[in-house]
Structure 1
Amino acid sequence: MKIISHRGFWFSDEEKNSSVAFVRSFESGFGTETDIRDYAGELVISHDPPQAGALKFAELLAIHAVHNPELPLALNIKSDGLQNELLDLITVFKLVSFFFFDMSIPDALGYRRVGLPFYTRHSDIEPDPVLFAEAAGIWLDSFGPDWVTAEVIERHLKAGKAVCLVSPELHGRNHLPLWERLRVWPVSQDQGLTLCTDHPEEARRFFA
């Protein structure tokens, strides 16, 4: 199992989606999840509607290239119609490990059209992942406790899909009950599985 940080490896809320958090994540050996929007004609990093001074996506890619370009990037799409700009930047920076997710369903068709890898969603309230056959993987989420099982993960992996599992603290819940179960599941040893967490260093020690 791989571990990626959620909005960078941050120590305070102010550091989320910041260059400091991304540098720390890559230097620590973790890929990261982050949010992409368009603002004033440029792609920027921002979970909420962006403001002037938001970190540019190209700046994140430059940080990634300098520190460890092999680490995975999970790119949460917050605006429609960004495919061509994203494709240009991915080509310039020669990204090798990345995927897009959370775009609208009609927008996902645009990612399929230009050949960009995208993940579809599966959760307790989204039981039928859309565009499953075309998706490169599954963003596996849970809005209530105890929904994720080893069987759910294994089914997707056996279907040839990578799986990125959302750790419960991203929804304000205690992560340890799921982590305790996950640690004893054989599927936790599969490199097709990724855990997205606010606590990457803790996760590395826990699953070591």
Structure 2
Amino acid sequence: MKVLSHRGYWKTVAEKNTPAAFERSFSLGFGTETDLRDLAGQLVVSHDPPARGALTADDLLAIHQRHDAALPLALNIKADGLQSLLLASLERLPQLDAFVFDMSIPDAIQWLKVGVPIFTRHSDVEPDPVLYSSSAGIWLDGFHGDWWDGAVIARHLDAGKRVCIVSPELHRREHRAAWERLANDGLPSDGTVMICTDLPEEAREYFGNDH
């Protein structure tokens, strides 16, 4: 199972979505999830409305390319209409394993039109993932509990989807029981299943497979 750090591999809250967190994540062989917005005509990394001086998406990609260019990037789209800005960066890196998720439905349709892979969310409050047939993968989430199991994941894999599981600690819940279920399910390690976590080194050690 591929491990993705959540907003980079940060050691303090202030490091989230910073160059230091991304350098640490990529240097240790983890992909990452991060947030994209626009600011003054530029694409920037920021979970909240960005301020001047925010890390640009191109700077993030430069850090990524200095390490393993095959490490996956999960790009959480926080504003509509970013297609042209991101495409300009992605077209320079045609082999990049990147996908977008969490945008509005009308905006998701625009991402599909320009050919950028999208992941649709399947969660306890979204039992019927939208745009399923057009999506490259599933962002498997649990807002109120860990409702999913190996059968849910297998169903998506059988439909030709990749799956990224949101680890419970991202919702401030204990993660060990869910991790144990995943380990017992014997999920593939070929990149079709990923986990997004605040504990990437612990996840790698626990699942005991490749990065």
TM range (shorter): over 0.9
Deviation at 1:189, TM superposition (A): 4.4
Deviation at 1:93, TM superposition (A): 3.2
Please state if 1:169 is matched with 2:176. Answer: no
Deviations 1:38-71 (A, max 9, x none): 0111110000111111101110011111112111
Aligned to 1:200: 200
Counterpart Cα distance in 2 of 1:191 and 1:35: 21
Aligned to 2:146: 146
- The number of residues matched between the two structures is 208
Deviations 1:82-117 (A, max 9, x none): 111111110123342110000100000101101110
Counterpart contact for 1:138–1:162, Cα < 8 Å: yes
Aligned to 1:83: 83
Amino acid at match of 2:179: W
Deviation at 1:146, TM superposition (A): 3.2
Aligned to 1:45: 45
Please state if 1:66 is matched with 2:58. Answer: no
Counterpart contact for 2:146–2:168, Cα < 8 Å: no
Distance 1:171 1:75, change over 3 A: same
Counterpart contact for 1:65–1:93, Cα < 8 Å: no
TM-score by length of 2: 0.96
Deviations 1:124-175 (A, max 9, x none): 1100000000000000000122301111100000000000000001011111
Please state if 1:31 is matched with 2:17. Answer: no
Please tell me the root mean square deviation across aligned C-alpha atoms, in Å: 1.1
Amino acid at match of 2:173: R
1:67 is paired with a residue whose SS is coil
1:49 is paired with a residue whose SS is coil
Counterpart Cα distance in 1 of 2:164 and 2:91: 24
Counterpart contact for 1:182–1:188, Cα < 8 Å: no
Counterpart Cα distance in 2 of 1:9 and 1:191: 19
Deviation at 1:188, TM superposition (A): 5.2
2:132 is paired with a residue whose SS is coil
Counterpart Cα distance in 1 of 2:148 and 2:182: 9
Aligned to 1:105: 105
Amino acid at match of 1:187: L
1:100 is paired with a residue whose SS is strand
Counterpart contact for 1:167–1:197, Cα < 8 Å: yes
Amino acid at match of 1:51: A
Counterpart Cα distance in 2 of 1:189 and 1:59: 29
What is the correspondence of 1:122-137 to structure 2 with a 5 Å cutoff? 122-137=122-137
1:32 is paired with a residue whose SS is strand
2:163 is paired with a residue whose SS is strand
